[in-house]
Amino acid sequence: MNRFDTDLLHALGDLDDALAVLDGEFLVALNAPMQALLPGDAGGLAADWAQALQGLASALAAPLGERRRCGVSGEYLAQRVALDARHVLLRLVDDRERLHHLQRQLDDREGLLFTSRSLTVSEMGSVLAHELNQPIGATANLLRGLKLRLARRHPDSTDELAALDKAVAQIAYASQIIGRVREYTQSRQPKAERLDLGALVHQSLALLDWDLQREAVQLALRLPDAPVPVQGDAVMLQQVLINLLRNALDALRLDRPDAPLIDIELRVEAGRAELRVGDNGPGITPQTEARLFLPFSSTKPNGMGLGLSICRSLIEMHQGRLWFTRRDAGGCCFHFALPVLAAATPPTLEKTA
């Protein structure tokens, strides 16, 4: 190893990245992290030495300055940089921490999506059970009344009376099935755990960071510095937050303003925490507002019309309430309020126009 190689690796030896110096096709020097990653001695052919790490040989053949992934799962970024007319510096950057963080985010998103679907199915079952019980009960009463009239007027109509008995029995069976569906869907009660509502807002925004960046939406976030403790089910409350944020994003896509904005504010007053999620989109008509929280009512082409109905049910499970207002500057604003746990009350933020 010549003085050039020794001085260079001495200067770079304290860096965490794995570094090696190549002279043409030969490996002439490597620092400790590279030595730990690819055990071997300097002085051999780089092509032979690179076989120890999957994809590294291909990275060595790439143009100078170009980054290539190598490793079993692409966990390293390899790049070559010219040092002088003869020498090239090879740098391997360990990207595993970032990839692990990204994988955790993807897992969290997948988990939230699964839970969201489960809650949607559960709430839809509850809504259907409630809505279907009304006409089924009315139909059963009409059939019983019809049977009594027929029995009084035509007591010898045995076939017709038997058919009505069977119809009533089928209605009763359908009602029992709906009752079992309701019992199943109502068995999912919120967990009673202490939560910081402000932290839950940050976690929800982290799950939508790609959507916010892709849509170039400005985020105005006003949260108290101190924790806002509430009691409830983190998954259910996060489902409400995600739904309200996605509705705001959909509104901004529908009629995009010059500077799309989502405004989130958390305030604590009189023992209740109120969270506001607003947007500067096109807003809604009074007719749409009147049906906002009705099941199966949607303005979206592919919407089921259950999102806000489910959100209201989940908030009411937590002894809270969810409502809608119009923003003075245009757009929509959804609020939900929850009881604050007995603790030092966080300072509230001054309301801005």
**Tens digits of residue pLDDT in 173-227:** 777 767 666 665 555 566 789 999 999 999 888 878 878 888 889 999 999 999 9
- Let me know: does 119 contact 188? Beta carbons within 8 Å: yes
Q: How confident is the model at residue 329 (pLDDT cuts 50, 70, 90)?
A: confident
- Let me know: does 313 contact 329? Beta carbons within 8 Å: no
Neighbour-count burial of 106, counting CB atoms closer than 10 A to its CB (0-12 exposed, 13-18 middle, 19+ buried): exposed
**Which residue did the predictor score with more confidence, 11 or 196?**
196
pLDDT, one tens digit per residue, over 22-45 is 888 788 877 778 877 776 666 677
**CATH topology (fold) of 98-185:** Helix Hairpins (1.10.287)
The CATH number of 3-94 is which of 3.30.450.20, 3.40.50.10680, 3.40.605.10, 3.30.465.10? 3.30.450.20
Phi, psi for 347 (deg, rounded to 5):
-65, 140
State the average pLDDT over residues 65-88.
Answer: 85
Give residues with Cβ within 8 angstroms of 6, minimum separation 6: 29
- Residue 273 scores a pLDDT above 90: yes
Task: Determine the pLDDT at residue 344.
Answer: 45
Q: How confident is the model at residue 345 (pLDDT cuts 50, 70, 90)?
A: very low
Which pTM does this prediction carry? 0.51
How far is 200 from 234, CA to CA, in rounded Å? 8
User: Where do the domains of the chain lie?
Assistant: 3-94, 98-185, 193-339
Q: Within the chain, what is the greatest distance between any pair of CA atoms?
A: 117
Cα Rg, the chain, nearest whole Å: 32
- Residue 272 scores a pLDDT above 90: yes
- Residue 286 scores a pLDDT above 50: yes
Tell me the percentage of the chain whose pLDDT exceeds 90. Answer: 18
> Of the spans 2-11, 239-248, 332-341, which averages the highest pLDDT?
332-341
Report the CATH number of the 193-339 domain: 3.30.565.10
Task: Determine the pLDDT at residue 353.
Answer: 32
Q: How many residues does the chain have?
A: 353
Q: Hey, what amino acid is at 175?
A: S
Mean pLDDT in the chain? 78
Q: How confident is the model at residue 18 (pLDDT cuts 50, 70, 90)?
A: confident
Tell me the percentage of the chain whose pLDDT exceeds 70. Answer: 73
**Which residue did the predictor score with more confidence, 6 or 289?**
289
How far is 92 from 75, CA to CA, in rounded Å? 10
Query: Which of 316, 322, 343, 327 has its CA nearest to residue 280?
Result: 327
State the average pLDDT over residues 3-20.
Answer: 61
Report helix angle 96-153 to 197-207, nearest 10.
Answer: 100
State the average pLDDT over residues 91-96.
Answer: 81
Neighbour-count burial of 11, counting CB atoms closer than 10 A to its CB (0-12 exposed, 13-18 middle, 19+ buried): exposed
- Let me know: does 22 contact 88? Beta carbons within 8 Å: yes
Give residues with Cβ within 8 angstroms of 145, minimum separation 6: none
- Let me know: does 27 contact 17? Beta carbons within 8 Å: no
In the numeric block, which tokens belong to residue 262?
Answer: 């989502």
How far is 231 from 308, CA to CA, in rounded Å? 21
Q: How confident is the model at residue 304 (pLDDT cuts 50, 70, 90)?
A: very low
Q: How far are the Cα atoms of 6, 115, 163, 199, 353 from residue 224, in angstroms, in the given order? A: 55, 28, 67, 11, 18
State the average pLDDT over residues 276-289.
Answer: 88
- Let me know: does 123 contact 115? Beta carbons within 8 Å: no
How far is 191 from 230, CA to CA, in rounded Å? 12
Residue 90: strand pairing partners: 20, 80
State the average pLDDT over residues 66-90.
Answer: 85
